[in-house]
């Protein structure tokens, strides 16, 4: 039996069926996270040379034309849907940090572990994100509350603390299940990547079968013993992240690298460039989950959920859903690539495939025997 995997939303129902068990969700508090929430002192960060800081105006970057800034260059290179690749090209050309203008929007882009660590260490009590005025206007018009993405300061801290308390309770987590937007997209890319690497899929299946008995449903306790499963997901999110960049707005003057950035500077944290850098990952174009079983990977080279106090509040729920869903699918089905043509990424809020993902499922023979 084989069926084509089409769009990410089709995976949403799978996540809700397989990844919302209250007992498993409750145990997720004990699971490790792949995002940076606390420094790991055993891992040394890549050093950024320090010099007397230069002014913001000294930052390199693409050509800034009057009124439009670098918009023409962005459009020439594929438009906003290819901006993640354009930003990666700019990092290769201008270095770990550069400045860019799109019309009136002025931003500083950082794409190096040492700069992300410096930002993390200098984080204020209430770190700010980019203000999105249309969102605020829409909420004001409908007389609705702002929510975590819009709130700032003490109001943000109060609401985030309330959400964290809810995330400690399994019944509340189930209610929040539909709020995790990136999970199905990340699972889509994970299935695509393992379909293109059959040897990885076989090794993953061996691990799953060694941990789970016949007919036994996976739980958070089982996941603690599945290091290769977690490595597969990390490697997929490195190569094909759902979110290629996040934002911060500096609430005080901050020195990053060789530059003193004034209060109010908008930062773009380009997580996509981190995963496609030979400096951070040798043979970065290759899908190698084994690299994550090593202990020498700098945590600031992999930030799929952001860093610090404003990282994704639902990351533990998302990771649990992804681990359980991937475990269930690989155990029950052989994931097959239906062609070997490249699949490109397009930016549409999330990084999505430029065509239908060429993946099909073939039910495993042992699954058929258990049903008979």
Model confidence at 188, pLDDT cuts 50, 70, 90, reads very high
Percent of the chain beyond pLDDT 90? Answer: 56
* Mean pLDDT (whole number) for 49-67: 87
What are the residues whose beta carbons fall under 8 Å from the beta carbon of 177, sequence distance 6 or more?
A: 15, 16, 20, 317, 321
Backbone angles phi, psi at 94, to 5 degrees: -105, -10
What's the number of domains the chain is made of? 1
Per-residue pLDDT of 298-338, as tens digits, reads: 999 999 988 887 777 778 888 999 999 999 999 999 999 99
Per-residue pLDDT of 105-146, as tens digits, reads: 999 999 999 999 999 998 877 777 766 666 667 667 777 766
Task: Give the pLDDT confidence score for residue 2 in this predicted structure.
Answer: 41
Q: What share of the chain is helix, strand, coil (3-state, %, to 5)?
A: 45, 15, 40
CA 213/CA 210 separation, integer angstroms: 8
The rounded Cα 240 to chain-centroid distance in angstroms is 9
User: Which position has the token pair 């992804």?
Assistant: 322
Task: Give the pLDDT confidence score for residue 312 in this predicted structure.
Answer: 75
The answer on pLDDT for 175 being more than 80 is no
Q: Indicate the average pLDDT of the chain.
A: 81
Nearest to 219 by CA among 20, 363, 371: 20
Task: Give the pLDDT confidence score for residue 32 in this predicted structure.
Answer: 35
- Coil/strand/helix, residue 40: coil
The answer on pLDDT for 197 being more than 90 is yes
CA 351/CA 284 separation, integer angstroms: 18
The CATH number covering residue 362 comes to 1.10.630.10
Range of the domain at 337: 2-371
The answer on pLDDT for 34 being more than 50 is no
Task: Copy the structure tokens of residue 243.
Answer: 């979110």
CA 233/CA 225 separation, integer angstroms: 15
Model confidence at 341, pLDDT cuts 50, 70, 90, reads very high
CA 236 vs CA 131, 305, 326: distances in Å: 30, 14, 12
Q: Which of 129 and 221 is assigned the larger pLDDT?
A: 221
Per-residue pLDDT of 236-255, as tens digits, reads: 999 999 999 998 989 899 99
């Amino acid at each position: 039996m084989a069926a084509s995997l089409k769009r990410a939303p089709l995976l949403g129902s799978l996540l809700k069926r397989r990844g919302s068990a209250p007992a498993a969700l409750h145990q997720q508090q004990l699971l490790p996270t792949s995002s940076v929430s606390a420094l790991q002192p055993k891992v040394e960060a890549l050093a950024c040379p320090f010099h007397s800081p230069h002014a913001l105006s000294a930052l390199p970057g693409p050509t800034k034309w009057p009124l439009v800034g670098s918009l023409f260059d962005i459009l020439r290179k594929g438009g906003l849907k290819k901006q993640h690749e354009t930003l990666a090209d700019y990092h290769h050309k201008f270095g770990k940090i550069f400045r860019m203008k799109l019309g009136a929007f002025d931003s500083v882009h950082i794409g190096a572990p040492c700069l992300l660590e410096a930002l993390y260490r200098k984080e204020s009590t209430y770190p700010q994100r980019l203000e999105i005025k249309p969102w605020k206007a829409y909420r004001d018009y409908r007389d609705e509350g702002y929510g975590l993405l819009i709130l700032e300061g003490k109001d943000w801290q109060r609401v985030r603390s309330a959400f964290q308390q809810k995330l400690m309770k399994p019944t509340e987590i189930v209610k929040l299940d539909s709020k995790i937007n990136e999970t199905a997209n990340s699972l889509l890319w994970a299935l695509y990547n393992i379909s293109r690497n059959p040897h990885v899929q076989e090794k993953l299946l061996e691990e799953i079968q060694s941990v789970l008995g016949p007919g036994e449903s996976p739980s958070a306790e089982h996941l603690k013993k599945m290091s290769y499963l977690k490595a597969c997901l990390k490697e997929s999110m490195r190569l094909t992240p759902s979110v290629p960049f996040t934002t911060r707005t500096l609430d005080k003057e901050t020195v990053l690298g060789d530059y003193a950035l004034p209060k109010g500077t908008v930062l773009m944290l380009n997580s996509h460039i981190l995963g496609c850098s030979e400096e951070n990952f040798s043979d970065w174009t290759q899908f190698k989950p084994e690299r994550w079983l090593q202990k020498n990977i700098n945590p600031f080279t992999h930030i799929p959920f952001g860093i610090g106090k404003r990282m994704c509040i639902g990351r533990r729920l998302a990771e649990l859903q992804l681990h359980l869903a991937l475990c269930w699918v690989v155990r029950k089905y052989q994931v097959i690539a239906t062609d070997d043509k490249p699949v490109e990424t397009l930016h549409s809020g999330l990084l999505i495939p430029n065509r239908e993902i060429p993946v099909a499922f073939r039910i495993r023979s042992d699954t058929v025997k258990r049903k008979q």
